[in-house]
Amino acid sequence: MLYFRADSPFKTLADIIKASEPPKCGSTGTASTGYLIAKLLDEAFKAKLNTVTGYQGGAEIDVAVERGEIICRGMDIPPHFGREPFDSWHRNGFDRHILQAGSKRDSRLPDTPTLSELMNQYNSPDIVRRVTRIVLASGDFGRPMLAGPGTPPDRLRVLREAYAKAMRDPALIDEAKKGQMDMEYTPGEELQVLMKEIMDQPSAAMERVKRVLSD
């Protein structure tokens, strides 16, 4: 997702596109969510962000936003809810949510457009959609548990069933909540389909992904 200070003049993607000077956002480095979102906005919409890298962590970026050193940040959705400083920000109307990168709107961001919706609005070509899907796929995968190649199907089934059972365990869920950790279970079968979709791409799309990530 991408948020801005609410007192900034940026309310929509169109405002970023039309800006005479790119808004200044914070990022930890070139592999961070914020940096990748900035690259994709430029690739898909020619919407430029001035990404300031080198922050030691997300908390440091958020403090910089509060101080006015920067006015925006791209980040994963789960950490933006249920913890500080964001709970206070939302109560006080401090930040504004500009877009989210998921394939569908997150229930916590019902009024924030997805990148897919924006690409429909701007008639983005298919190859740009593919590049965006590939680069941001890590958000759909989360932190998957993997088994090695050649794992027997019956053993794979046992592992998947055990993992699903654990993710529904009330004690584990309660422990995660106490530690402010997010649990969003996706069945292994769905991740397998997603992996095949991401890997089965035309060479032109993969070459463009390499260019976006290396520029």
Same domain (yes/no): 53, 159: no
Same domain (yes/no): 24, 94: yes
Q: What is the mean pLDDT of residues 42-66?
A: 93
CA–chain centroid gap for 103, Å, is 10
Q: What is the mean pLDDT of residues 57-63?
A: 94
Same domain (yes/no): 172, 89: no
Same domain (yes/no): 170, 119: no
Q: What is the mean pLDDT of residues 78-91?
A: 92
Is 131 part of any domain? no
Question: Cα(36)–Cα(172) distance, rounded to whole angstroms?
Answer: 32
Is 133 part of any domain? no
Residue 182 pLDDT level (bands cut at 50, 70, 90): confident
User: Omega before 85 cis (within 30°)?
Assistant: yes
Q: Residue 215's pLDDT is what?
A: 67
pTM for the model: 0.80
Would the pLDDT of 179 be above 90?
A: no
**Average predicted confidence (pLDDT) for the chain:** 91
Q: Sort residue 7 into left (φ over 0), alpha (ψ -120 to 50) or beta.
A: alpha
Would the pLDDT of 102 be above 80?
A: no
